[in-house]
Structure 1
Amino acid sequence: MGEAPRSAGAPPAHFVTGSTLRHVVVMGATGSLGLMAIFVVDLLSLLYIARLGDPVLTAAVGFATIVQIFAVSINIGMMIAVGALVSRALGRGDVGEARRLAASSLVLAVAASALVTALLLPLLGPFLTLIGASPETVPAARTFLWIALPSSLLMALGMGFSGVLRAVGDARRAMNVTLAGAAVTALLDPLLIFGLHLGVEGAAVTIVIARLAFAWVGYSGAVRVHRMVARPSLPAVVADAGPILRVALPTVLTNLAPPVASAFLAHVMAGFGTATVAGNAVVDRMVPVAFGGLFALSGAVGPILGQNWGAGCFDRMRATLRDAALVTGLYIAAVWLALLLGRGPLTALFGLSGAGADLLGFFCLAGGAIWFFNGLLFLGNASFNNLGFPLTASALNWGRATLGTMPTAWLGARLAGPEGAMAGMGIGSALFGVVGLVLAFRVVGVLERREVVTNPDADTEPPSEGQGRAPSQPTGTPLQDATSDP
């Protein structure tokens, strides 16, 4: 998939020196810009559909989004695995291993995406009905997904390339990957939906073209510029499958938990009528726009932790977690204020009324508190996935999606309607968010103690610029320790 590296030496491990706060802010900010661009145009796409004046179509796109999240979650899990493995290899100074792992990971990511798409397409009708789609909503949602869902393979490639770019510290080009998709969407959505009168089908076609741009820009940065993806080979993919899947499978399992929680919440909301479903669809699209920085921040923390673990810089790993938690709090404060001030105009913009308007207004009032704790959980999960404890991330995410969502959302709905369901979900988020961050610090301590026990003379101070060292592996490799309990 790529040519030989330009030089025999490994690219410098950028994150093992300099201010950890600066690394967190730069990687998080650039990631946020790219993600926010995608999410903003995604929200605009829903706005265009809402402007067609049919709440059924708005609800259909909302349900289709929930189904797509399952496929996207697979891609995110594979992207995290790519970033974790490549950044760790670069921290050790082994560029050859990094390039080979990148190539093998991308092949497996596309294969996984193809398998998920093949499984979902024949089951769209029953699945949409299961999560609460009404008979009049299902046909439009199914049409949208038959067009958009196969392009998940392109997204798998684009996200994989983005993971490689983040692993090498090229925040700008990683940002450009998502900006490319956002730009295409912003240009084509109004043209296809209104200009060519394609409606829901036009929105789906736009997604396909945007993901093609997504993959091409990622390829240009990871392969043509950095040459960090080797030419894939079947023997290498087979040999690397074990280490990759030991990170990817628990990570994918982790990322499947949020869509399960969303699907359950959508099912609960469906019991309150079409207006509530439309309001919930708007909230679902607004969440990544408002809090997309948290997704980007957790993605930014992973490579920083991975490189510093590879170099044995445990104090810098703790500093990275502290800095990321601080940035999370400041970010939430700013976004929450914006939501509080904008709840009236947002309700009018999407033409919501009645129960849908009430739900959006409640989200603007309470969303900041809910998502602060979600942000802490994201940081914890990023740590577990990149430091050899992905099963811990899976346990916490599934705990939040089940024990932290289902009983509390159900009870909240019975006591206070749709707003109560949303508040109930927030209560579970608070508990699991705090536990996640506490355990993240504990994981760093576990890794440091292992290093001291197996290599008493090891120096855990930051190495000289561009240099790293491999931490000792007391039980084989970090990946073999992935099932350990922190």
Structure 2
Amino acid sequence: MERGKVQRMREEILTGPIERTLLRLAYPLIVSNLIQVLYNITDTFWLGKIGREALAAPGTSWPIIGTLMALGMGFAMAGFALVGQYIGAGRYEKANRSAGALYSLMLIFSTLTAIISLAVLPYALHFMKVTPNVYPHAKAYATVVFAGVPLSFSFMAFSALMRAAGDTKTPVKVSMLTVFMNIVLDPVFIFLLDLGVEGAAIATVLSNGTGALIGLRLLTSGRTGLYLTKETLKPDLEFYSKIFRVGLPSAVGQSANNFGFVVLTRIIYGYGDVVYAAYIITTRLVNFITSISRGISMAMGTMIAQNVGAENYERAKRIAERTMMVNFLIASFAILIIGIFRVPIFKVFLNDPAVIAQSEYVLKYFLISVPFFNGIFVVVTRTFSSAGHTKKSMILSMLRLWGLRIPLSYAFGYVPAIMISEVILDHEISIRIPLAELFGMSSRGVFFGMGMSNFLAALVALLWFLRGSWMKRIIEEEE
């Protein structure tokens, strides 16, 4: 996307019809998300042929992987907000400088992340109480993926920068190539070369590496709206400080959240790998069907960043509100489809009666809350982060996971009952409130707590959004 195209796209984002512009930006991202989830489902499908333990390995590993990779995602989000707002304000040279600083910072940071990840991996798996039959598979998978973290960070930076410039098509084309590579390489490495779970990880790293190299080539070619040169890629403490200042809250928040999923995995594994396998397959299916709404949220982020940069605050608010309505309906439809076809779909991945039985509880107690999470919570947090108010999105995300999901999941899954006593008119009145007993001290209580966290977090997010404190651009502070 050349400079002229960036300027034309900017005008449409700032003044064009909201729905049409949102759809134009969203449809490549929707395709990208569907393809990305197809990659996850491909891993799940092939590893399911080996057995339940192999199938659970990537899902077990990803909370650990995500904890450290979330640091990169936080800084990528900061770069996205800065570049998007500079473009919205018409300051294209500043946008290029911020893009170069982000890319070089991500390369440095990802190398450190990979080293730390490999060092903490065995301790993290033990903390999660991963069952002995899953442990070797999860460790093998994560070790290979951690080695490829710099490549993943590079591709992450490329995708964020292209979206900030309003180019949602180019990253999708590259993603399609990497996913199709992974689909082809998966059975080759898993079965033909007999590498099992480790083979699936190798296929992932090779695919991500190809995408990272293509992305770097495009950014340095001058054929995109953003142009990285040796000058812009040089370490720059001034721009690094900007990215750190904006990105650190998001990075810390996302890392804390991903570590929260490490804790949540420990809670779910308390009821065995059958329950965890059901949870992993179900969430993979949800991710596939709700890819449309997530793509729309990402497109909305581009529109929010540039409109806030141009100080079109009321238009930014309307964009977010319309995205909420659309995403709520899409997510509701997704859950309905899963509910109707749950059993035959599960049998495609793993024809295990025990796992299929558990999937009913995941659907009944947890998945019904997904429209509130996907339609409201995700839209609000992305609105905050795209506007550069990463502290707000950090607080919301940590509240949902650490303040609500983990305590509620543990309480309804493991705490039989609590007693509340109060002295009224010199008489002590005690009330016994059953928690996990309501669900027979079973995995149903864990999933109920997860569902409740989505309902409550969505309510808090909506109230905070309506206050409007996020409607202030951040680049004013950088001039």
Whether TM exceeds 0.5 here: the answer is yes
What is the CA-CA distance between 1:170 and the residue it aligns to? 1.3
What's the counterpart of residue 210 of structure 2? 213
What is the CA-CA distance between 1:241 and the residue it aligns to? 1.0
1:131 aligns with 2:128: yes
**TM-score w.r.t. structure 1 length?**
0.86
Q: Distance between the aligned counterparts of 1:189 and 1:214, measured in 2?
A: 17
CA change 1:296–1:390 in 2 (3 A) is: same
What is the CA-CA distance between 1:20 and the residue it aligns to? 1.4
What's the counterpart of residue 419 of structure 2? none
What's the counterpart of residue 327 of structure 1? 326
Does 310-319 or 199-208 show the bigger shift? Answer: 310-319
What's the counterpart of residue 40 of structure 1? 38
CA contact (8 A) 1:12 1:90 kept: no
What is the CA-CA distance between 1:63 and the residue it aligns to? 1.2
CA contact (8 A) 1:61 1:144 kept: yes
What's the counterpart of residue 438 of structure 1? 463
What's the counterpart of residue 179 of structure 2? 182
* Alignment partner of 1:428 out of 437, 449, 453: 453
Residue identity (%): 21
Amino acid at match of 1:394: M
What's the counterpart of residue 298 of structure 2? 299
* Alignment partner of 2:146 out of 146, 149, 157: 149
1:104 aligns with 2:101: yes
Q: Distance between the aligned counterparts of 1:71 and 1:211, measured in 2?
A: 17
Q: Deviations 1:182-216 (Å, cap 9, x if unpaired)?
A: 11111111222122222112101101111012213
CA change 1:445–1:261 in 2 (3 A) is: closer
Q: Deviations 1:148-200 (Å, cap 9, x if unpaired)?
A: 21212111111111111111111211322322221111111122212222211
What's the counterpart of residue 456 of structure 1? none
* Alignment partner of 1:84 out of 76, 81, 85: 81
- Between the two proteins, the alignment pairs up a number of residues equal to 450
**What SS does the corresponding residue of 1:107 show, helix, strand or coil?**
helix
Amino acid at match of 2:40: D
Q: Deviations 1:281-312 (Å, cap 9, x if unpaired)?
A: 32343343233334333322222111111212
What is the CA-CA distance between 1:328 and the residue it aligns to? 0.7
What is the CA-CA distance between 1:352 and the residue it aligns to? 4.8
CA change 1:185–1:445 in 2 (3 A) is: closer
What is the CA-CA distance between 1:66 and the residue it aligns to? 2.2
What's the counterpart of residue 378 of structure 1? 378
Q: Deviations 1:355-395 (Å, cap 9, x if unpaired)?
A: 42233233344555322222211111112112232111111
Q: Distance between the aligned counterparts of 1:163 and 1:186, measured in 2?
A: 24
Does 163-172 or 435-444 show the bigger shift? Answer: 435-444
Q: Distance between the aligned counterparts of 1:409 and 1:333, measured in 2?
A: 23
Unaligned runs of 5+ in 2: 415-435
Amino acid at match of 2:75: M
Q: Distance between the aligned counterparts of 1:329 and 1:9, measured in 2?
A: 31
**TM-score w.r.t. structure 2 length?**
0.87
* Alignment partner of 2:113 out of 108, 112, 116: 116
Amino acid at match of 1:161: F
CA change 1:365–1:28 in 2 (3 A) is: farther
CA contact (8 A) 2:290 2:334 kept: yes
Amino acid at match of 2:323: A
**What SS does the corresponding residue of 1:403 show, helix, strand or coil?**
helix
Unaligned runs of 5+ in 1: 448-470, 481-486
CA contact (8 A) 1:15 1:307 kept: yes
Amino acid at match of 1:381: T
CA contact (8 A) 2:189 2:199 kept: yes
Amino acid at match of 2:25: M
CA change 1:299–1:232 in 2 (3 A) is: farther
What's the counterpart of residue 463 of structure 1? none
**What SS does the corresponding residue of 1:312 show, helix, strand or coil?**
coil
Q: Distance between the aligned counterparts of 1:184 and 1:239, measured in 2?
A: 39
CA change 1:197–1:445 in 2 (3 A) is: closer
Q: Distance between the aligned counterparts of 1:19 and 1:257, measured in 2?
A: 38
Q: Distance between the aligned counterparts of 1:117 and 1:354, measured in 2?
A: 39
What's the counterpart of residue 197 of structure 1? 194
What's the counterpart of residue 275 of structure 1? 274
CA change 1:207–1:119 in 2 (3 A) is: same
What's the counterpart of residue 390 of structure 1? 390
Amino acid at match of 1:150: A
